[in-house]
Structure formats: C-alpha cells, structure tokens
Structure 1
C-alpha cells in the first residue's frame, strides 16, 4: 500500500497502511497531515481490517508503557499485521518480542545483563577492530563501493555473532534468510526462510552443548536448557530473534545514517570539527530516521479512551515512532536534522517494557562506525543521486538495499 485513500464519510478519510516514504530519511507525507487532525487516525491494513495509527508523542509514549491494556501478542488472530508474510512471525516473536507481562519480563531479565552499558564498553575494542578491518578492505578495493555490503551488514552481524556465540562463517546463510523472513513477498516464502534459519540455529545449539563458553548461547544452554526451563526449540527461536534484532536494525541505521549525514553537509562539517558531538548525533539520527516505525504494533485487550477516541477491545494499534518523533509540540522544528538538539524523550528506541534491549550495543556500533568513517574517509560522498539509491520497500524495517559511495 502506498497511501491510497478511501472516503468513508464527509469527516473521515481512510488511508491505506503502511504508507511509503518518498525520501529515505523522511516519514510518509501523510503522517503530518494526519497529525494535524488529531493524535489518533483510523487506517486500513492490507487485508481490509482497520487499525488505529497514533501520531502524537504523548499518546504514543503513554501507550508504549501500557502493556496491561495494549498487548504485543502476535498469536492473537486479531493482531494487526502489515503483510501476509507476518502471519509467520508468531513463530519467532513469541520467543521474546511478542510476549506480554511476566513471561516477557523473565526473558528480558535473562538477557539484559549481557547488554548493559558496562558490558558493551568491553566490546568497543572488538567493534573498532571489525570496523577498521572492513574499511581497510573497502579502501584497498577502491571506489565506488556499496557501503551496505562493505560495512553496513558486516559490522553488526560480526558483533552479534560474537555476543551470541555463533560462528560468522555462515553469515551469508543467516543474512539471506533473516531478510527472507522480513521481506518475503509471500507467506510460503517467509515460512521457508524461517524454517531454514531455525534448522540452522538448531544445529548450532546442538553443537554448542559440547563447546560451552562465555556467550549468550552457552548461558542459555547452561542456565535454561539444561535445567528444563527452556526447550531446545525455545532456545533456537530466541537465537533467531536476537540474531535478526541484532543485525538488521543496526544495518539499516548505518546505511540511512550515513546517507543522512552526507546529504546534510553543514551538520557533517560540525561533526567532523567536533567529534564530541557524536553521541548526540547518533541519538538525533535515531529520532530523525525512526527505522522501526512499522514494528511497533499492539492490540487492545479492553476498551480504552485515548485523546477523545475509544479504542475498543480487539482493535489494532500502530504506535508510529516516525510521526511521534516529528511531533513539533515536543521537538521544535522537528523536521530539521540537528545534531545539537535535545532529543530527550524520543521514541526511536521505543519506550516502556518493550524498549529496545540492545540500544547500548547499537549506540556503540553506530558511534564507532560513523566516527571511524568520518576520520578515515574524510572525502566520502555519494556516488549516485539520492533518488537513485534503492530503498527497502515492503520490509519490516525502513532502510536501504544499497548505498553507492566514493571518495
């Protein structure tokens, strides 16, 4: 769907959802239009069902935190999905992201100690080395180059494999099938991609039993699988969720982040002149790009009044981070990319019980990749016009398929 509208009454115009971005780093134009009309709008999904789109920051933040009345359970038949392939998602979302209440809290408690800022700080030298090695290789080959292939995919994939305890040797297999799960045009293709990836990780889990070390998979085997708290299938599905979450999001942010910096030369010049602005620049990129805009879906478990509207039990809700992060009442001149702005309270990492568990790791990866590129490739520039850069269309995460650059 690309923003088609259907007039229901003189007062309500229904937009098809999702709406396509016209520019890689700008949200769909319809968001601003809908935001002017109110905090909530009804939209129509691909299968003809309706859902509520939340576009104002205060309401989105409130609903993010309300997991008692707004469920993430993808197994509910009425859960709002945006494409047919997502009917296969419960197979993996129920490992972590699609859980509610105590089961979700327990899974997070189990994993969060591996993603604290203290733990991530220990990983910075390894992330730096991976980044430097890949840039060395890119520079040796000469330009132009596809930055996604040269850097965007490999950095987060290498790092998450190290943290999880998976060999990077099979990265092409799991990258291909992870993307198949997220962008397959049909349900059958998504199911097949998921089957292959799950079978592969089941073999990884089996082999790991004889080679335990200090990684997440070893921890899960020792503390959960061997104690009977999780089955081997549970562990394999959890590894699928962590592998996809750990590589696809940062991959998208690297591509779109570099594109945004290269197309905002004044901001780029400030960052080059003062590298201490880098942490703030990363937060502004996360706010500005809101790559997970299509993933923050909920279903109401009871009737709830929100901003003068009644969301009824069983109705789908889409918490638009892209619209909320451009709310001018919270972020003045919100459509301007400004690395010096205060981004306090932005929803790019989510909010509440389902806030991104890997945000510390993603911050470190983005700071290192952007900072190293600016330092080592000071003449980096786009090799093609922005309009020729291929965008991800029909995927779960916003992003680029390729980013041609030269220097």
Structure 2
C-alpha cells in the first residue's frame, strides 16, 4: 500500500551528513530513523531535502535499480553533500557519475587489472612493500603514526605500481587530491583540481615514450591512440583510480587496526587462528562501512519504495552503514564478530557501481593486518582513545592519524 510521509517541520529535520561520535559506529540517528520506516526526509547543506534510506532490503534493491535511479551528478537536483562536489564534473563523469553503457564501457577498460588472477600475481609484491614499510617503522621506534607510515604509504605505492607511474612525485598529487576532498575554501579546491589534472596530463604525455604492461600504458595504446579517449580522459580516469584506490584502502587500514585494538578478544582470536583473516576483513568492511556517503542517487521517474512514492528528480541517499547494521539482515549487527557470516553485506557496494577494486583491497588488507599481527604482536595505541583524531566532513570515514607503539 502506498503511503505519503508528511513533510516534517524544519526544526525537526536532521541535517545530512550526520557525524559519527565513535570512529567505528554509524551515526546514532540512523537507528532512530530506521524505527519509523525505510525512508526519512533529511536536509542537505544547501537547505534542499532528500530521502535517506536506512533499511537493508530497500538499499540493496535501489543500488541495483538503474532503471529508476541515476548516478548522474550533472542533474541539477542531484543530492550533493558539499558545495565542492558541484565543481568537479569532469572527475565524476570519468566513471563515478556515469550510467548505463558508458559506465559499463569505462569499467571494461579497467576491470582486467583488478581480477582475482591479476591480484594473486600482485600479492608477493604487496607483501614485500608491506614488509619494507614495517621495517622502516620498526627502525624508527615507537610511537609512530601508523597511517602515515603504513596506511597511506602502502596503498599509494600499490596504485602507482599498477598504474605504471613513478612514486617519486606522489607527494605532489597526494597534496592536490587531499585539497580537492577537504578544502573549506571552494576556490582552493578548484585550483587543486586544475593543478592535479595538468600534472597528470604531463605524466600521460611522458608515458607515451615509456610504454609497458600497466594500466596507463594499456589505456594509451588501446584507447588514446585509437581516439576513443582524449589525453584529458585518461588523466581523469587516473584521478578516479588514485582517489578510490588509495583513500579507501588508507581509511580501512587505519580504522581497521584501531577497531581490532579496541576489540582485544577478537584480536586475540585472530592471532591464535590466522585462517580467520579473510572473514575478519569482510567483517571489518561490513562493520566500518567507510564508504557510507558515496552512494547518492537521483530518481529518474516516479517510483514506489517501501510504500512511499519517490518523485522524479528527488535525491536519495543510500546508507550502506545503516544497511550493514540492519538487524533483519545481520543478527546482533552492532557486535563486531570476525566469525560471523557477512554474506550479502554492502560494504563493497552493490549493482553496477560495486567497488571495482575490491579483490585488490581485500589482498592489501589481509596482508597488512596479517603482517602486523605476526611482526608486531605487542602493537597498541600510544594515546588515549579519545585523542585519536577522527575524519569529519570527509567523503570516506576514517582517522587522520593513528598513534601506535609496541
């Protein structure tokens, strides 16, 4: 039966995004709103209203529904979460903001580099990179910031390796990427975006004289030289891969280690039985849901969801964190349990936009967590829990730093 939700009074609306008060727990408002149904009205930064969806069943269905919901951020009523997101249409059109066949074609260009077979070939290299970084960390002695020493360095090294670009100037594009994602001043963010793309245009040009067996070389040979992609198209795809491949893995490493340290009984279980590691990674991905804010959509036609009509042009915010804590889908969902069945969790997304690099990310996380447990069994926080700095107002949940010692 179709129902109509009465528009709440302005002073009763929740602002979105909602802040986490604990790094590994979703906002408390999610559970509160879920009690009243799958859909709730929330207010965005610019005062516009959107639908927040918090029930697992509806979120999973909507993520897979390309007929009624679009990722096209060029739509004027698309539910942007910050003003800076409106000013990088080129980046979103490279991959994230595409629908249908154009989106499928872009993924086809990249997917061969993220298969299980390709990832298995990379595992020895990822292990060597991890060991080298931990060697350097141990040589310095504690306390150290695990994120800067390992959590950011490893994903950055891996993504540069598979792209086929030098890590030497990584600090340059890392600085620009961070400004794009966090700058409070819009002009700063726009300038960083231009600088990053100009820099990567130069990287692509230089790569033409040094083609090899990597993603960038393949894009140049098979797509740029054929005229299917422009030089700027290739640079934009690189930005998408760098931000997605590095930022997500960095957040998961930092927040994953923090969560394990805060659950010593689970950590002890994992030390005693390393075969639990793959399941522990999946439980961390479910439990943390770091990409909670990355799945906004816009309705392309009137559509009924959980008895409520979502009208054409209205924005919908599909909370994977709320879905992954839905007790209908996961018994005792707020309990971190590395032995639980996580089948069907939405931490990697779902549908056409499901995370393309999930196999590579799994390998990185398994190697990092397993190596830390083996090589630094006494790893612990170097500061009180309340002094660990959380990311606030970012696209991906996580920590700014994780001070540890041993």
Does the 8 Å CA contact 1:389/1:402 hold for their aligned counterparts?
Answer: yes
Instruction: Please list the CA deviations of residues 160-183 of structure 1 after superposition, one character each: whole Å capped at 9, or x if unmatched.
Output: 001011110011111111111111
SS of the equivalent of 2:184 reads coil
Does the residue aligned with 1:169 lie in a helix, a strand or coil? coil
Question: 1:237 and 2:207 equivalent?
Answer: no
Between the aligned partners of 2:70 and 2:268, the Cα distance in structure 1 is 44
Helix, strand or coil: the match of 2:210?
A: coil
Report Cα offsets for 1:72-130 as digits up to 9, x if no partner: 01111111111111112322011011100000000111111110011000000110011
Q: Which runs of 5+ in 1 are unaligned?
A: 1-6
Deviation at 1:9, TM superposition (A): 4.4
After superposition, what is the alpha-carbon deviation per residue over 1:122-165, rounded to whole angstroms, capped at 9, x for unaligned? 00011001100000000000000000011000000000001011
Structure 1 CA distance, aligned partners of 2:56 and 2:340?
Answer: 17
Matches within 5 A, 1:264-283: 264-283=263-282
Q: How many residues align?
A: 401
**Partner of 1:119: helix, strand, or coil?**
helix
1:270 Cα deviation after fit: 0.3
Q: Deviations over 1:8-50 (max 9, x none)?
A: 6489932100000000010001001011111111100000001
1: CA distance, partners of 2:404 / 2:312:
49
Give the CA RMSD over aligned residues.
1.3
Residues 378-389 of structure 1: pairs in structure 2 closer than 5 A:
378-389=377-388
Aligned partners of 2:376, 2:119: CA distance in 1, in Å? 26
1:126 to 2:138 alignment: no
* 1:137-216 matched pairs, under 5 angstroms: 137-216=136-215
Aligned residue in 2 for 1:4: none
SS in 2 for 1:98: coil
Per-residue CA shift, 1:191-248, capped at 9, x if unaligned? Answer: 1111111111100000001110000000000000000001111111111111111100
Q: Does the 8 A contact of 2:389 with 2:399 survive in 1? A: yes
Secondary structure in structure 2 of the residue aligned to 1:368:
helix
Q: Which residue of 2 aligns with 1:20?
A: 19
Structure 2 gaps of 5+ residues are 1-5
Moved runs in structure 1, 4+ residues, more than 6 A? none
CA distance in 2, matches of 1:354, 1:105: 9
Alpha-carbon distance in structure 2 between the residues aligned to 1:59 and 1:89? 30
Matched residues in 2 for 1:91 and 1:169: separation? 26
For residue 123 of structure 2, give the secondary structure of its aligned residue in structure 1: helix
Instruction: Check conservation: 1:87, 1:187, Cα contact below 8 A.
Output: no
* Contact 2:296 2:316 (C-alpha < 8 Å) held by counterparts: yes
Q: Aligned residue for 1:345?
A: 344
Task: Using structure 1 for the length normalisation, give the TM-score.
Answer: 0.97
User: Which residue is 2:3 aligned to?
Assistant: none
